[in-house]
Structures are given as structure tokens and as C-alpha cells.
Amino acid sequence: QTLDSLPRLPNQKVDLRALGKMAETAKETVQALDSLGMLRVLSRAQLEEDVWIQNQQAVWMLIVMLGHFQLNDGAAWSDGIDCGNQAWRVEMLLGHGKDMVAFMLMVGFTDSRDAVRFGPRDWVLVVLALLMSGPLQYVLSPGYGPLRAVFAPPGGVVSIQHGWFLYSFMFARMVLNVLHHYQVRPSLQMASLFCVAMLLPDDIFDPLPSEWRAWLWRNDAGMRYKGFRWSCPFMAACYLLGFHAGPAAVQRARRWAPAAAWQVAVLIGACWTGFLTMSTLNAPSPLLPGGYSTFQAVYDETLISHLVTVHYMTHPSFFVYAALWLGEVLLFIAPPLFVAVAMAYCPTHFKRMGTTSLGNYVLHPTYIGAPWTKWVQAPVLSRITSPALGAMPNTVITFAWNVVFCIFFAMTVSAAFHHGLVAFFGSAKRAVELSMALRRKAVWSSFTPRPVDAS
């Protein structure tokens, strides 16, 4: 993969002049900690890419939080319009699955810097996924006894819920490792996973007992809101796309980047316009008539089960299904690309919110619909909105309050939790290393060499 990305002449020989320029710009290396507190050696170009990735993570995490918290109760009605409901519609159209696809593309891109293997970072995420599926809920959301007035009750002893993304990520890593082990070409890896995501029917689950399927639907938010096809094969395909195509796309974008200020301004405006237009036309609860509000091929959003069966694929026609599927893939992937290009020119580094997105992802879904969130809805919105202001100003005020609260929560509570999480895993790593060192010392101390017979 690294050799394939080298600049080449038309005769396919390595372009030494371009390679020399790349060496000049990337020869400076810096030691930096990643979001899991692991030390990495990065080039100057990779540090710039990290700032770019972290800014995207901040934007998409804000969108995720807006869709989860939904602090709209108590907003004023104006001109017969529920302004809280209008703000909710805006919050929902920004995500609609595109947010998690964006995260999968980004993590695939950053993983492409490392060798393909199952390393310490993967083990950390495995442990974190298992903690999110049970014990951690009882610590973060102790909604029992008198605390039920503050926190929601835990989901259960074993409940995946919003930890589904970590399981999807682990599935994608497993697929990558297997395909790499069998030396499957990168282009074939991506093509095969997208084909599986399109052609694999949900009929494969028919042999499973209905109780098992019902349990998954109740306890896995990914299965409940999107289904298996989207959560596993489609997300794995997006991961492979970011892993294999991401680095080459970034290098190409660096070469094609506009230099003039007016060109940059036009590009940024076009990207945000494209993102907002596609999001509005694909809004799950439309603000405007028309558009494509529900997905029908990648997963069936009109059904509560989201199942896409063989019969569904072939009626009225498989070609209709395939055309819809390709269009929906574009709806999922194009908006993250628009945001990525626009954020490449962002002059501000949203470091605190961007580098702590993992802790935010673990923490904030625990409080979706928690009783304490009511304290920051009607008591606040009833004071900052008024029927006399009109529908549009009240909707903007309600949405702005959601943005302010989510940013405040992300930069305080979630950031502190993230640093505590990193410290916990760091302490666990040191404890394991100390235990192994003591064990090796005990083994060596118990070894006594056999005396040599002088005769």
C-alpha cells in the first residue's frame, strides 16, 4: 500500500523529484499522544491531518449530541407552529446516519498509518465495548432508588445499546485483518464489502429463534434503528473505503487545493451548501415538501424491523433496488466528504472537543432522556423564547440553546470523563506490565543452574 502511493512518472517509475519534495515536507517527526493516550510518532503532515480530523470529529460529535439530547420541550408556539418541534426537525436532519458513517471513514483513514494487525488499541476498544454493554451503565446511570429522579435506569446486565458502533468497528477491523492475511487487493476488498452490503439479504437470520432476534432488536441500538446490513457490512465497507482510498484522496486533494482566497471561499461555501442541501432533502422529518426522507435500500426505514429480504430486493425489480441502493450510498458518503473539504480550511483547532470525542461517545448517550435533562429544557426555553418573537426566531433560539448546551457538556463533563478513561486504561496497562515483570523475575529467581562436576 505504501509503495503504491509513491509519486510516479508516466512510465510508472518513481518520481524522485516529487519524492524529494515529499521528504522535505515530512522529514520532521514529532511524538504525540492519540485520543487513547498512546504515544505515536507522526510527521508534520500527519500532525496537520490530525488537526483536520479532530475538527471534523468535533463537528460530527456535536451533530450526534444534538440528535440525542433534543432539548426542545417548553419552547414557545408562534403563529400556530411548535418551535420546539421545528428545532427538533433541524437537529435530526443533520445526522440521519451520516454522522456515524463520517466517524467510520475517519477512523479508517487514521488506521491506514499503522500496520494491519490486531494491536493494543484494538484490545482497549474491545474492553471498552464490553464495559459499555453492562457494568459501565450502572456506574454512569445509577437510576435506582432515590436517584431515579435524576438518572434513567440502567439498560440491563447485558445491553449493547449505543455501544453498537464499537462492535461495528471491531467487525470492520476483523474483516480488514482477514482480507489482508489472504492478500486480497485493496480495491477488491472495498468492492467485495460494498457488494456484500448490497446483496446480503436479511433472510439469513430466518434460522435464528425469534427470541434471539427480538433480544438483539431491543438491546442493540444499531440493530433497532438501522439493522444488521447497515451496522456491519455497510459500515465495514465505509471503513475499508477510508482505510484504502483515504490517504490517496488526501494527497490528491493537497495537489488540487485552490490557492486564491476567492477560490477557497467559493469551495467552502459550495461544500457547506451541498451538505445542508443534501441533509435537508434527506431529512427524516422533512421541513420542506419533496425530498427523499426515508432510506429504502441500504436499510428499510419504513419498517420497524428495517429488514431487506430477497423478495423486497426483487419487487418490483432488482434494478430499481440497485439504483436506489447506489443513490443512498451517495447520500451517506457525500455529506461527510463535503464537511471534510470545508473543515480543511478551518482556521481554528477545536482541540478539546475533537480529542475527547471517544469519552463523549461513551458518556453522553447514557443520559438520553434522563430526568435531569428536563431541568435544562422548559425552565430555560420558557424564558428565552416568546410567541411575540415569531416562529423563525424562536426556532433559531431553541436550536442555538441545544448547540450551546451540547458544546458546554462536551468540553466539561465529557472531556473530564475522557481523561479519566484514558488514565484508567493507562493505569491498567502499567499494572499488567508490572505483573508480567514480577512474574518473569519470580521465574528467573526460581531457576538454579545445575552444579558442574569437576571430575
Give tens-digit pLDDT for 334-377.
Answer: 999 999 999 999 999 999 999 999 999 999 999 999 999 999 99
Q: What is the pLDDT of residues 150-191, one digit of tens each?
A: 998 887 777 888 899 999 999 999 999 999 999 999 999 999
Let me know if 290 is exposed, middle or buried by CB neighbors in 10 A (0-12, 13-18, 19+): exposed
Establish if 410 belongs to a structural domain.
Answer: yes
pLDDT tens-digit map of 43-64: 777 888 999 999 999 999 999 9
Hey, what amino acid is at 376? V
| More confident: 453 or 207 | 207
Q: Is residue 1 domain-resident?
A: no
Residue 205: inside a domain:
yes
Q: Is 305 helix (H, G, I), strand (E, B) or coil?
A: coil
Is the pLDDT at 439 greater than 60, yes or no? Answer: yes
In a domain, 453, yes or no: no
Q: Which single residue is written with the C-alpha cell 470525542?
A: 357
CB 397 within 8 A of CB 382: no
Query: Helix (H, G, I), strand (E, B), or coil: what is residue 163?
Result: coil
Q: Domain total for the chain?
A: 1
Look at residues 4, 32, 61 and name the one whose alpha carbon lies nearest to residue 247.
Answer: 4
CA distances from 255 to 58, 248, 258, 318 (A): 26, 11, 9, 40
Asked whether the beta carbons of 165 and 232 are under 8 A apart, the reply is: no
pLDDT at residue 85 greater than cutoff 70: yes
Amino acid at 50: D
**Cα dihedral sign, 251-256-260-263:** negative
Does residue 228 register a pLDDT over 70? Answer: yes
Cα separation, 139 vs 24, in Å, equals 50
Are the beta carbons of 237 and 200 closer than 8 angstroms?
no
For the stretch 240-283, pLDDT in tens is: 999 999 999 999 999 999 989 999 999 999 999 999 999 999 99
* Buried b / exposed e along 257-285 (16+ C-beta atoms within 10 A): eeeeeeeeeebbeebeebbeebbbbbbee
Tell me: the pLDDT tens digits for 104-140? 999 999 999 888 998 888 998 999 999 998 888 888 9
Provide the residue range defining the domain that includes 420: 16-445
Q: Is 152 contained in some domain? A: yes
* Residue 430 forms part of a structural domain: yes
In a domain, 344, yes or no: yes
Cell of 122: 484494538
Would 2 be classed as within a structural domain? no
